[in-house]
Amino acid sequence: MSPKSKEQFEEIRTQTVLVIKETALELFAENGFHNTSIRQIAKAAKISKGLMYNYFESKDELLKAIITDAMEMGNVFMRRYLDEAASPEEQMRGLIDGVFEWIVDNLKYWKLLAALAFQPAVTKSMEGEVIEKAKEHTGMVTDLFRKMGKKEPEKEALLYGALMDGIGMQYMVMPEVYPLEEMKQLVIQKIFEK
């Protein structure tokens, strides 16, 4: 067997970090941050606890990496739907469709973020970054509502955010029975009513 190249080692490292973060996300979402140990994460990820510490110094650092990933996903998401070539109405429609798709596809993130919302001490070290990212995203939506001619675009953006968060939370609690498509149509109707 030939020795692994630098690229192969980097690929193995990247894959291991991904497995650790996905495993931790699932366990944090299901059991809570405080109720999940490094040992549980390592066992579920099928790696040793020692190897786990080669990648993340602490559980807090691992959580920070997961939240950073979620914020980056939010950036990519916003850029994808707020395409300057489209009209403001098309952008808003794409954003709404995208948010509903994201809710379904990323239920574990919703569970984790919901749990963390009620544990501010856990995320205290990232509070500034999270608030700044939320302000940035709200600003983008405010600009979109402004372009759509809404009288109070800041308030509309805050209401939109609250609606999306609330719908995400309700879907998280009862995904099998929550009328997600009907809620999406209602959101579209409310946003586009004159």
Q: For 3-48, how does the pLDDT look when each residue is reduced to its tens digit (9 = 90+)? A: 678 888 888 888 999 999 999 988 988 888 888 999 999 999 999 9
CB-CB contact of 161 with 144 (8 Å): no
Residue pointed to by tokens 């390592």: 42
Q: How many CB atoms lie within 10 A of CB 149?
A: 10
For the chain, give the mean pLDDT: 88
Q: Say which range, 107-116, 135-144, 169-178, has the weakest mean pLDDT.
A: 107-116
Most confident of 69-78, 128-137, 177-186: 177-186
Any alpha helices (H) in 32-117, and if so which ranges? Answer: 38-45, 49-55, 59-81, 88-105, 107-117
pTM of the predicted protein model:
0.78
Query: 140-182 pLDDT, tens per residue?
Result: 999 999 999 999 999 999 999 999 989 998 998 899 999 999 9
